[in-house]
Amino acid sequence: MIKAVVFDFDGLILDTETSDFESWRETYAVYGGELPRDIWNSNIGAIGLFDPFSHLEEQVGRRLDRDAVMAERRRRDEELLAAQVVLPGVEAYLAQAREMGLGIGLASSSKHDWVDPHLARLGLRSYFDAVYCRDDVGDRGKPDPAVYQAAVDGLGVAAGSAVAFEDSPNGALAAKRAGLFCVAVPNQMTRDLSFDHADLRVASMAAQPLGQLLLSLNGKK
């Protein structure tokens, strides 16, 4: 019996991943470099798998003023992100989970100083019974399962009675390693990637009500 749902944040609740990639892609272009999509995709949902600064410096053949580059990239990222809204179906799933009496958690590879202000700005923080980020688990990001393990522990449920919603293969692998069921909800950055680890894949949370989705998932046990 499903007792809880656990949401990723970046790329699942808010499409921060497109703005992140675009701001880096534009930064590379300023210095005459190119950021391949396939290299970027390998790091989506994870931390530390790819260093864009080192990769860019290799392309241009010199050291860069990283503080200045980062300041300008962040400015552009914030500009792009300001145009983003909560992804389709997210608020409905949160409301339906609350109506169904399910525990609601969040497990993110980002840090609280990124996730918490966004949740507050979007008016979503009150939905969550437990919010865990990588700084709660020794800075371990996905595909390490630590943040999912912390989330189900915080919700007081067994991992096998919880469902994770993820937009990235790294996130799906983390959820499965922690013992949760996993529903993949790819975004425009991840829709062409493989989600072999997920139990179910849907195009959007707006495609069907949460109760119907959970019934579909139960049929895969």
Q: What topology is assigned to 4-15+86-218 in CATH?
A: Rossmann fold (3.40.50)
Q: How far is residue 19 from each of residues 23, 24, 67, 74, 175, measured CA to CA in Å?
A: 6, 8, 19, 10, 25
Q: pLDDT tens for residues 148-192?
A: 999 999 999 999 999 999 999 999 999 999 999 999 999 988 998
Mapping DSSP to helix (H, G, I), strand (E, B) and coil, where does residue 4 land?
strand
Instruction: Give the mean pLDDT of 22-41.
Output: 92
Assign residue 101 a region: left if phi > 0, alpha if psi is -120 to 50, beta otherwise? left
Q: Say whether 8 is catalytic.
A: yes
Q: Say whether 167 is catalytic.
A: no
Mapping DSSP to helix (H, G, I), strand (E, B) and coil, where does residue 75 land?
helix
User: Is the pLDDT higher at 17 or at 14?
Assistant: 14
Q: pLDDT tens for residues 95-130?
A: 999 999 999 999 999 999 999 999 999 999 999 999
Q: Which of 8, 15, 20, 167 is catalytic?
A: 8
Long-range residue pairs from 95-99, CB within 8 A, at least 24 positions apart, any chain: 95/127, 96/209, 96/210, 96/211, 97/5, 97/127, 97/210, 98/127
Instruction: For residues 75 and 90, give the distance between their C-alpha atoms in angstroms, rounded to a whole number.
Output: 27
Q: Which of 10, 77, 136, 144 is catalytic?
A: 10
Q: Average pLDDT over the chain, rounded to whole? A: 94
Which pLDDT does position 220 carry in this prediction? Answer: 61
Q: Which of 17-21, 115-119, 139-143, 147-151 has the lowest mean pLDDT?
A: 17-21
Written as one letter, the residue type at 215 is L
The predicted model scores a pTM of 0.89
Q: Domain-by-domain residue ranges, the chain? A: 4-15+86-218, 16-81
